[in-house]
Amino acid sequence: GSFGAAAYSLSLTGLPSGTTIYYRAYATNPTGTGYGGEQSFLTKPAAPTNIAATDGSDTAKVVVTWTQSTGATGYKIYRDDALIDTVGAVATYDDVGAGAPTITTGAAVASDNTTLNVTLSVSGESANNGASYAYKLKAINATGDSADSNTDTGYRGASALSYEWYRS
């Protein structure tokens, strides 16, 4: 742009996300052109994409993965809109703090028999998945945070129940 013989500023739009932009100013008059030194600034990164959280495939954690953003130096990870961690330039996170699976107790019955055969039975018990959470991320760099990513829902899965009987 042409700004005359005074201090000026210029707003730019449509710049690529997470990119270092280089620029320099110059002045021209009838005797020639003078150039300023090269300057630069970093643009904010775009939000990460392809957010995916595991749906019960792991009993110890929810694994969250994403596609990294250009120019991001780290990521903020949110579970149900609460910041749970900030990590470096990685593309996966293990949420071991997600709610654990639970067991619903049932009833156990042993037959009252004087013979050597005792019948044992259980009913009403179940293993239940952990609570379901919505995960989202923000990419970060020295300039600031990106907008929120899309969300995905994940939870910790429950293992099959096993039974042990003790005789007393």
Half-sphere exposure in the Cβ direction for 119 (13 Å, CA):
4
β-strand pairing of 74-79 with 133-141: antiparallel
For 44-94, what is each residue's pLDDT tens digit?
A: 999 999 999 999 999 999 999 999 999 999 999 999 999 999 999 999 999
Identity of residue 142: A
State the pLDDT at residue 79. Answer: 98
Report the alpha-carbon distance of residue 99 to residue 70 in Å, rounded.
32
Question: CA 155, 160, 165: angle at the middle one, nearest 5?
Answer: 140
Please give the structure tokens belonging to residue 75.
């990521």
For 92-125, what is each residue's pLDDT tens digit?
A: 999 999 999 998 888 888 777 666 777 778 888 8
State the pLDDT at residue 85. Answer: 98
Report the alpha-carbon distance of residue 28 to residue 106 in Å, rounded.
87
pTM for the full predicted model? 0.77
Residue carrying structure tokens 């919505």: 134
Report the alpha-carbon distance of residue 93 to residue 89 in Å, rounded.
11
Give me the DSSP letters along 35-96: EPPPEEEEPPPPPPEEEEE-BSS-SS-EEEEEEPPTT-SEEEEEETTEEEEEE-S-SEEEET
Residue carrying structure tokens 């990294």: 68
